[in-house]
Structures are given as C-alpha cells and as structure tokens.
Amino acid sequence: MSEIKKTLLSSAAQESIDRWMKRYPADQKRSAVLEALRIVQEENGGWLTVELMDAVAEFLEMAPIAVYEIVSFYSMYNVKPVGRYVLNVCTNISCMLSDSERIVDHIKKRLEIGINETTADGRFTLREVECLAACAAAPAMQVGKKYYEHLTPDKVDAILEELE
Amino acid sequence: MADIEIEIDGKKLQANPDAMVMQVADAAGIYIPRFCYHKHLSIAANCRMCLVEVEKAPKPMPACATPVMPGMKVFTRSAKALAAQKAVMEFLLINHPLDCPICDQGGECELQDLAMGYGPDKSFYHEGKRSVKDKDIGPLISTEMTRCIQCTRCVRFGAETAGFRELGATGRGERMEIGTYIQHAMESEVSGNIIDLCPVGALTSKPFRFTARAWELEQYPSIAAHDCLGSNIYVHTLRGKVMRVVPHENDEINQTWISDRDRYSYEGLNHEDRLEKPRIRKQDGWQETDWQTALEFATQGLQRVLNAEGGNELAALASPNSTLEEFYLLQKLLRSLGSSNIDHRLRQSDFSDQETSPIFPGLDMPIADLENRDVIVLLGCNLQKEEPIASLKVRKAALKGAKIIVVNMMDYDFHFNVSHKKIIAPHQFVDAVKELTNDPAIAEIVRNAKSLAVLLGAQSLNHLESSSIRFYAEKIASLANGTVGLLTEGCNAAGAWIAGAIPHRTAAGKPVSKIGLNAETILTDARKAYILLNVEPDLDCANSIAAINALDQAECVIALSTFKNPVLEQFADVILPVAPFTETSGTFVNAEGKWQKFKGVVTPLGETRPAWKVLRVMANFLKCEGFEFESSEKVREEVHELFLQGTAGASSPRPSRKEHPSPAALRASTSPTRGEVRISRVGEIPIYSGDNIQRRAKALQATQPIIEGNVAVVKIHPLTAEKLHLKEMEPAIIKQFENRIRLTVIFDTRVPENAAYIAGGITATSGLSQLFGPVEIHKA
Ligand code: SF4
Ligand code: FES
Ligand code: FES
C-alpha cells in the first residue's frame, strides 16, 4: 500500500521485452506476453514465480490473472522449479501407437522419478506432453529446443548420458 | 440501416441487421436455451446450449453468435435443433456433480431448469467426474467450483462491466478452472452480481447460504436505501424475515446490476442492535414501556421546553435515508411548533448558497444518460465507492471514448481511464477547481465537449467550502453548456429537500420567513430539545464531537431510531423504535428526481412502528393541526400536490448561475482561512460505514478491510510524514481545534501532500469536529 513497487524484472529482461514490444501497436503491449514470459522464465532458471508473473503483468499493463491464465495454459511455462533438462515425452496418439509408454516407463525406471518429478541431483524433470507435431518420427521427445525422434530405450540411454 | 426480415419458428420477424439470432428471438419472446449468453455481456459462444437449426446451414448454429441474414429461417425446436441441444446438455452434465439436493442454487438454477427440459433421465456416463478444489473468494460469495460449467459469465462481468479482472480461467482442457489462481478475496464493489450471473450453483451468496430454498421465499419489489441512485431491488423474505436482496431490472437506473452495498446491507436489518420496544429514561436508568406512555413522556418533555423557551429551542436532524413522508411530517411538526431548525445534510459544513439552490439537488440529467457523456469532470468524488452503479456507467462512457477529468483529495484507482487528474489537499481544493481550466489541455477538452457532465461527490459536498466548489463547477459546466450533478449522500436527499427537511424552505421549495439553523449550527449552537430521526450522532454528523456535546446539554432528546446506539443511550430521554425501509411504506426520490414508491415487505420487528406514524401521533399529542393522515400514501399525495404547485411557476428548478453569491463573499463566512492551514483532513467515509444499516451488516463489515485496509488510522504521504517526523505504524496524536484523538500512522502515496486521510463515520474518529478541516499531527 505504501511504497511504490520496484519491478523484479532485470534490466536485460526489460530491454528484450521492450524490443519485442516494438513489433506491436503501442496500445497493445499485452501482445508481447508470451515472449516476455519466456525471457523471464529463462532468466530465472526455467520457471516462473507468482512475483515474476505479477511483474510481467505490471510491465505489460495487464491484469495479473490474465498472465496466470496464459502461464497455466501453455505447457512451456513452469510454475515450479524444474531440472536442468525437461524431458517432454509425447504420449499423444501417434506416439502412443508407437509405444511411447515403453519410453516413459524406461525413463521412470532409469531416473527413479515419476511424471512431473525432478531427479534428486536437479538434472532431469520428466513430463508427458501432447502431440509435438513429430508424428512421422514417433515416438518423440523434446528437450529444450531439441527434438529426439524414433526413440528406443537404448537411444534414450544415450541421450541422457549426453545431457550433462 | 433498415431492418431485415427473418423467420424464427415460422414467425416472420423484423430484425436489426447487426443483431444475433438470439437477440431477435428474445425480443420476440421465443426462448432459446442458453448459459453463456447474457444481454449485458460480450458474446463468448462457449457453452453451445443455444444451438438452433438454420435453413441451408449444414450444422446447427449457436443462436447467440449467429448474425441474422435477410430471409434467414431459424428453427429453435425442430428435431435437429432439439437433438443438438440435448447432446450439449449431456456433455455439460458429464462433469457436473448433480448435487442439486445440497446446492443453494437448487430451484433457481438455469442448469437444473434446462436439464429438466433437455437432459436425459438416465446417464450413460460411468467414468469418474472431474472435481475442482474449492476456492475462498471472500465474505460475500460462496464457491463450489466443481459445479462450474465454465460459461465465463463471471469472468466477462469482471473484465467488462466491473472493470476489475479478478476471476479468470486457468489451466487447459479438462483441467481448466475458474478462479483467482492466487487465493484472494474479491475487491470489486459490485462483485455480488456474479452470483446472479452464474447459471449454476458455483457462485452463491455466502451470508444467505443454506438458510432458505428459493421456492419458500416471497419476493417483493423495493428500492435500495443507500445511495442516491435508488437502484431497484427485490427483497426476498421468509416467514416475516428479510432473507436476501437481488436486483430488480430497471434499464433506466441499474439495468440488471446492484452494488454489494445494496445487496448485502439487509444483514443489518436482522442485527441484534435492533430496538423492539419504546424506552424512556427514568431516574434509575432506561425503562422499556408501551407506546402510549413513551409518546406521552416524549411530548410532555418537548412541551416543557416549548413552554419555557419557545419553538426556537427545538431542533431536528434526520438521516438522509429517511422517506419523503417522514421528512415531510418531521418538518411539518417542527414548523407547527415554531421551529425551522431542521436538516438532513448531516455531514455537510457549508450551507451558504442554500437559498439559491434548486428545489432539490441531483444529477441534473437522467442516470442512464451518464454513459453517453463525452466529457465527465469528477470533483471530490470516489465514485466507485460512493455510487457504484453510476460508476459502471461512467466506465461505459470511458470505454466509448469519453474523457474523464478528476480533481480529488485522494488518488483513487478508478476502473476507468482518467485522462487528467489533480490530486490536492482539501484546503487547496477550491483553488484547484477554480484553476482547472487554466490547464490548456483540460480547457481544450472541456470546451470541445459535446455533452459535458460535472459531477460533485460526497467529498465536495461535505467540504468546508462546498458552495465555492459548486460555484466553480457551474463555471466549468458553462464552458460547454454542460450539467452539474450533485451525488448526494444517502438515498433520499432529494426527497428531503422536496419535503422541506431543510432550514430555509418548507415543502416544495417554498422559502420560510425565518431561516432555521442548519445541520452544523443546530449542533454548535446547542438547543434545549432535539428530535433525531435515525441519526447516530457520533457517526453520521460531520461535527461528531459537537453532536455529542449538544445532546449532552439538552433537556429533552427524543430519538426515533431503528438501532441501539451508545450516544443515544447515554443522552436521549426517549428512544422510539422505528421501522427501516423494509418495514414501512414510503417514497425515495433519486438523483434524477424520480419518485420511487415502495411498500413494507415484512411486518415491523417487535413493537417497532413506521416513523411516519410515530410523527403523526406525536403531532396529535402536541395538538398540531393538519396531521390527519390515514396512510403514508396520503402524506405523499400532500407533498406531491405542493410539489406540482411549487414547480408549476418555475420554468426550471435550477437557478440561473448569476444568482449564486460569489465565492469571495461566501468564503468570509467559512471558518479557517486557507492560508494558515498546513495539513487538512480528508474525511472520507469508508465504503460500508455510510449509514446505520450497512454498519451492522456483517459480511459487508468483513469486506470493508479487504477493500480499504484498516480505516481507523491516519494515512499520509511519506513526504508529509517526513516533514512531521512521523514513522509508519507508530501512533500519532491528531489535533483538530481543542479535540485530540490517537491513530496509527500509515504511509499512503495516494494521499496528497499536506493532507491526511482520517476517515469519518467510524467510532475511532468521532472525537473530531470537521471532516475536511485543518488538523495538526504530532508524534505520540
Ligand atoms: S463460476 Fe458460474 S458464471 Fe463463472 S464460469 Fe463457472 S458457471 Fe459460469
Ligand atoms: S503424437 Fe507424438 S508427436 Fe504427434
Ligand atoms: S449461449 Fe450461445 S453458445 Fe452459450
């Protein structure tokens, strides 16, 4: 109530968001919300706190609830801490028909975690996602910006070893 | 554009080419089932309940989102339409808990009703149902979110109408939920409307919860008794008790909405403070008695003062929420006894322009017209809190592009865009209003206004120099032939003026030969005898300390009151229990001058009597003439007759601007010279502290701190605090003339420099004497 709130956004984040905002009409700052959240999430080690979401809302002159709606809608945003690598395994129809369940089970066993859980060393988080639009190469998984296709348990082992 | 012709269920209809099928059907009285569509909200078309068959269209179409086309043929009850509606209903019921027997909405539920018509009586669904963790959104609204069908009416109401987006749809697909995401209570002052909007039992009234079934209730139309709009309401009663209040649609005033204040204040009516029997003061304290004895006691006391001192020693104060009939009889009684010392303007301090005022203060335009103004100047007005429904209209105007200019004593966060604002301490306020159009940007907006409205809120009206504010407001309005609207406190200030509950005029604006004392001088120039009509002296009067002192020294104090009040208990000689608006018939005149009649909806509690009857009998006891009224209706007729005579001659109830005395002349009469003042008080009345009923409404009282925080504090700007060496959260001594109180300091950047927010209408500050006067603040 008393103090004027200082924004939590770093100046680097503010600058990048400002750059994105230039692409949209001045009275529609909210158009930059997806990018803004991505930038802020990346800076915060892969997840968003309520305070950060509020800061984005304030920066873009949106109601906080509108930002919560977006964050909770898209699976790319995390509201809890995640591991360094988030293993997004597709279990939608094509992958399911190509036995994605086997892939999920294998990862669970190997890393000793369940879905939406993170390994004790903070390295991996396992997640089930809907169609990654890689049906032709099912079963598929996305880690960061990279796609891994035609997965088999052996292939998964090799990938996990590679990811430090 | 010319209307086009379409056909719905074989009926030929004229339709506006921009209309949707649903709107045309509604206008023609053809019912199409719906959940998400609401005529005052945007079209979401997400529930699909309104599917209808359209000739030549391959699939059923949602009526709410299908624009009409020339020659279109729509079938709302064809086999195809019904099959589609039934299928949608089946899907909606998949995840609905079907817990009608334990749901408060049962019996008035759109889903239940439509399920009766369209739902299969057997479910084919055997899988698990979705359930949603319940939310807590505050003291006013109960939630049971598992029942939500995600029509988003509540979300759209917040975003569009209330302008306060608190609810949203978070999550996705099957996991989508309606809520606030981060748990917090709703802060909108019109939040209760989502209860009416919610087509299922997801959002219900918390205070009403589990107390009655819709079909047991009796419904009576009435008029809301808390602000000058006079929203139309329905009061629902059960076995002689008011159970709840809901809106009564009136397009000219409140449409389908009401404020939370009007919705939930009814709880105060059933408060344990209600007086049920007349009481008289005996040597050994209060004694309950019968009416005859009490009235004899009261009138004898009064007669003694009159015999000894004459009528001039008698004064009366009435709550601005009294009925027209009560005001009329009270002033008639007083004037028959030789006194004009009567007023209802309890929180006002400047009366110097009263003789040139119009017959009654008001908006000076139809309420509905507010949303069509293109420039609105708000002076000393926390519109959203004072007049929530008027604020919705100003918001609509702003959304249509109207420019809103604000001069205020606190920087309120309005739910509409403000194009220019000046936030200034009370003692500098008049100059700010006077110089407002010296700002070229503002002058340009005002001059080019096509339809300008200048609105004065309670803070302008209660200001020490309110007549000057009115004067300059007229000047601003005259720049573009605009109107000046006064948003008076209480629900019937207009009625009080018309009835003559003012010192300088009797009914219908007829001047009196000897002007009586006004609300301020009645107290500072203490009288020997007082009649109080629903006045809580410590909370309702600007000069609360003078009110207490005046009653203390008086010989005879007759209090007509609905509720117990400690000051009355201490100083009154007789307390007569009188009926609140739900237990009496009467008339409220709203800000646009509309006379709205209402009837009692329940019988008076205990031995409570309607105040108009009490005043009539008192007059009879005192042998006054002209009090042979058999009903309140007869009283109203007499006032109306006088009103018609009174206004017949006058071309307009508004005086010409030239007639106003100049502010310089007026200023001489108002107390502190502005030059000397260093800090002045912003004596705002907290949102639910305005009158005796709302003060006793539990859920509203629980909501007030959620909206405004603790109000029993002194809020100052950090810069002012620095000058005064005050620290946050530490106690301070507030001095106003010879009076002192102690309050905790809170920093608030919304308060201008050289000002201090010290609320009125609350016990903590009843030791002060001016709502907008100078104060000194020291470290305790
Ligand atoms: S809570 Fe009620 S009004 Fe809001 S989306 Fe759900 S069903 Fe609709
Ligand atoms: S279903 Fe797995 S990528 Fe499309
Ligand atoms: S009422 Fe038309 S889709 Fe909901």
**B172 at the A interface (CB within 8 A)?**
yes
Do the chains contact at B746 and A69, CB–CB below 8 Å? no
- The confidence score (pLDDT) of residue B675 equals 52
Partners of B223 in beta bridges: B232
Q: Is residue B709 less than 8 Å (CB to CB) from chain A?
A: yes
Q: How do residues B238-254 score in pLDDT, each as one tens digit?
A: 999 999 999 999 999 99
Query: Which residue shows structure tokens 């209808």?
Result: B52
d(CA B46, CA B62): 9
Q: What is the pLDDT of residues A47-73, one digit of tens each?
A: 999 999 999 999 999 999 999 999 999
Confidence band for B438, pLDDT divided at 50, 70 and 90: very high
Closest approach atom of ligand 2 to CA A137: 3
Lookup result for tokens 């979300």: B155
Q: What is the pLDDT of residues A65-94, one digit of tens each?
A: 999 999 999 988 999 999 999 999 999 999
Give B705-710's long-range contacts (Cβ < 8 A, gap of 24+): B706/B138, B706/B139, B706/B185, B706/B187, B707/B187, B707/B189, B709/A1, B709/B746, B710/B744, B710/B746
Q: Inter-chain contact A65–B748, Cβ cutoff 8 Å?
A: no
How many angstroms away from the CA of B404 is the closest CA of chain A? 18
For A17-26, B544-553, B613-622, which range has the lowest pLDDT when averaged over its residues? Answer: A17-26
Query: Which chain A residues are closer than 8 Å to B167 by Cβ?
Result: 65
Which residue on chain B is closest to A77 by alpha carbon?
B171
Classified as helix, coil or strand, B297 is helix
Residue to mutate (ligand 1; options B200, B204, B256; most atoms within 8 A of CB): B200
* Closest-CA residue of chain B to A69: B170
Other CB atoms within 10 Å distance of the CB of residue B124:
7
Mean pLDDT along residues A13-41: 93
Mutate to test the pocket of ligand 2, among A87, A101, A128, A135 (most ligand atoms within 8 A of CB): A135
Question: For residue B572, what are its two tokens?
Answer: 């009154």
pLDDT at B665 over 70: no
Proximal ligand: closest to the CA of A133:
2
List residues near ligand 3 (CB under 6 A).
Answer: B 34-37, 45-50, 62, 64
- Summarize pLDDT for B112-131 with one digit per residue, the tens: 999 988 888 888 888 889 89
Mean pLDDT of the region B331-336: 98
Q: Give the residue with greater pLDDT, B450 vs B669.
A: B450
What is the mean pLDDT of the segment spanning B415-423? 96
Q: How far is CA B130 from CA B95, B105, B174, B278, B362, in A?
A: 6, 20, 8, 57, 53
Which of B170, B172, B746 has its CB closest to that of A2? B746
Asked if B182's CB is within 8 angstroms of A50's CB, the reply is yes
What is the 3-state secondary structure of B625-659? CCCCCCCHHHHHHHHHHHHHHHHHHCCCCCCCHHH
Does A26 contact chain B (CB < 8 Å)? Answer: no
The alpha-carbon gap from B183 to the nearest alpha carbon of chain A, in Å, equals 11
Closest ligand 2 atom to residue A139 Cα is: 2
pLDDT confidence tier of residue B174, bands split at 50, 70 and 90: confident
**Euclidean distance between CA atoms B617 and B142, whole angstroms:** 46
CA of A2: which chain B residue's CA is closest? B748
- Using the predicted structure, report yes or no on whether residue B611 has a pLDDT greater than 70: yes
* Selection from B237, B274, B294 nearest residue B606 by Cα: B274
SS3 assignment, position A46: coil
| Amino acid present at B98 | L
pLDDT at position B656 is 44
B166 at A interface, C-beta within 8 A: yes
Ligand 2 centre to CA of B127 (Å) is 26
Q: Which of B23, B49, B59 to mutate to test the pocket of ligand 3 (most atoms within 8 A of CB)?
A: B49
Quote the CA–CA distance of A140 and A150 in Å, as a whole number: 6
- Cα B693 from Cα A93, distance rounded (Å): 62
Q: Which residue of A has its CA nearest to B747?
A: A2
CB contact under 8 A, A1 and B709: yes
**Residue B660: what pLDDT?**
52
* Partner B contacted by A68 (CB < 8 A): yes
Cβ-proximal residues to B303 (8 Å cutoff; 6+ apart), any chain? B622
Interface contact A116, partner B, CB < 8 A? no
Of B279, B302, B274, residue with least CA distance to B622: B302
Domains, chain A, ordered by start: 3-73 (1.10.10), 85-163 (3.40.30.10)
Using 50, 70 and 90 to split pLDDT, how confident is the model at B231? very high
Q: For B771-780, how does the pLDDT look when each residue is reduced to its tens digit (9 = 90+)? A: 999 999 999 8
Tokens of B432: 């700010």
Residue-level pLDDT at B370: 97
Per-residue pLDDT reduced to its tens digit, A131-164: 999 999 999 999 988 999 999 999 999 999 998 7
Q: How far apart are the CA of A99 and the centre of ligand 2, in A?
A: 11
Spell B569-581 as b/e; 16+ CB within 10 A means b: eebbbbbbbbbbb
DSSP class of B400: T
Spacing, Cα A98 to ligand 2 middle (Å): 10
Distance of CA B350 to the CA centre of its chain: 23
Tokens describing residue B404:
């809103």
Q: Hey, are the CB atoms on B180 and A72 less than 8 Å from each other?
A: no
pLDDT of residue A6: 65
CB contact under 8 Å between B746 and A3, yes or no, is no
The CA-atom distances, in angstroms, between B643 and each of B214, B322, B649, B690 are 41, 18, 11, 29
- B677, pLDDT greater than 70: no
Nearby residues of A16 by Cβ (< 8 Å), 6 or more positions away: A35, A39
pLDDT, mean over chain A: 92
Interface contact flag, A69 B169, Cβ < 8 Å: yes
Q: Is residue A3's pLDDT more than 50?
A: no
Q: pLDDT tens digit string along B258-301? A: 999 999 999 999 999 999 999 999 999 999 999 999 999 999 99
Q: Reply yes or no: is the peptide bond before residue A139 cis, omega within 30 of 0.
A: yes
Tell me which chain B residues have a C-beta less than 8 angstroms from the C-beta of A58: none
A3 touches chain B (CB under 8 A): yes
**3-state secondary structure string across B300-352:** HHHHHHHHHHCHHHEEEEECCCCCHHHHHHHHHHHHHCCCCCEECCCCCCCCC
Q: If you measure from the C-alpha of residue A62 to the centroid of ligand 2, how many angstroms do you get, rounded to a whole number?
A: 34
Q: How far is the CA of B63 from the centre of ligand 3 (A)?
A: 7
Residue of B33, B28, B34 lying closest to B9 (CA atoms): B28
| CB atoms B182 and A64 under 8 Å | yes
- Closest-approaching ligand to the CA atom of A97: 2
Is the pLDDT assigned to residue A9 strictly greater than 80? yes
pLDDT exceeds cutoff 70 at B489: yes
Ligand 1 center from residue B518 Cα (angstroms): 51
Residue A111, pLDDT above cutoff 80: yes
Residue of A nearest to B165 (CA): A63
For strands B755-757 and B680-682, give the pairing.
parallel
**Which of A6-15, B67-76, B591-600, B668-677 has the weakest average pLDDT?**
B668-677
What local confidence, expressed as pLDDT, does residue B173 receive? 85
Amino acid making up residue B427: H
**Among B21, B34, B198, residue to substitute to test ligand 3 (most atoms within 8 Å of Cβ):** B34
For residue B413, what are its two tokens?
């966060």
Provide the Cα torsion B537, B541, B546, B549; round to 10°. 0
Of B181, B728, B746, the CB nearest to A65: B181
Q: What is the dihedral of CA B766, B772, B775, B778, to 10 degrees?
A: 70
What's the confidence (pLDDT) of residue B648? Answer: 64
Q: From the alpha carbon of B47, which atom of ligand 3 is closest?
A: 4
Q: Which of A58, A69, A79 to mutate to test the interface with B (most CBs of B within 10 A)?
A: A69
Interface membership of A76 toward B (CB under 8 Å) = no
Answer yes or no: are the C-beta atoms of B450 and B438 closer than 8 Å.
no
Pocket residues: Cβ below 6 A from ligand 1: B 148-154, 178, 197-200, 202-203
Residue where the block lists tokens 């100078």: B774
Cross-strand partners of B244: B236
Report the residue of chain A nearest B159, measured CA to CA. Answer: A63
Q: How many Cβ atoms are within 10 Å of B286's Cβ, its own excluded?
A: 13
Residues of B in contact with A63 (CB under 8 A): 159, 165-166, 168
Which pair of structure tokens corresponds to residue A106? 């294998």
**A51 has a chain B CB within 8 A of its CB:** no
Task: Supply the pLDDT for residue B651.
Answer: 42
Q: Is the pLDDT of residue B607 over 90?
A: yes
| Alpha carbon of A121: minimum distance to chain B alpha carbons (Å) | 29
Collapsed DSSP state (helix, strand, coil) of residue B743 = strand
Asked if B687 and B762 touch (Cβ cutoff 8 Å), the reply is no
Q: Report residue B775 as tokens.
A: 């104060």
> Min CA distance, B254 vs chain A (Å)?
26
Could you give the CA distance from residue B377 to residue B418 in angstroms, rounded to a whole number? Answer: 10
Q: How far is CA B432 from CA B409, B425, B437, in A?
A: 11, 9, 9
Say whether residue A63 is in contact with chain B using an 8 A CB cutoff: yes
**Using CB atoms and an 8 Å cut-off, which of residues 182-241 of chain B contact chain A?**
182
Distance between alpha carbon B380 and the CA centroid of its chain, in Å?
17
Mutation pick for ligand 1 pocket among B46, B154, B166 (CB with most ligand atoms within 8 Å) = B154
Class of residue B655 by CB neighbours under 10 A (exposed 0-12, middle 13-18, buried 19+): middle
pLDDT tens-digit series, residues B147-157: 999 999 999 99
Predicted pLDDT at B85: 95
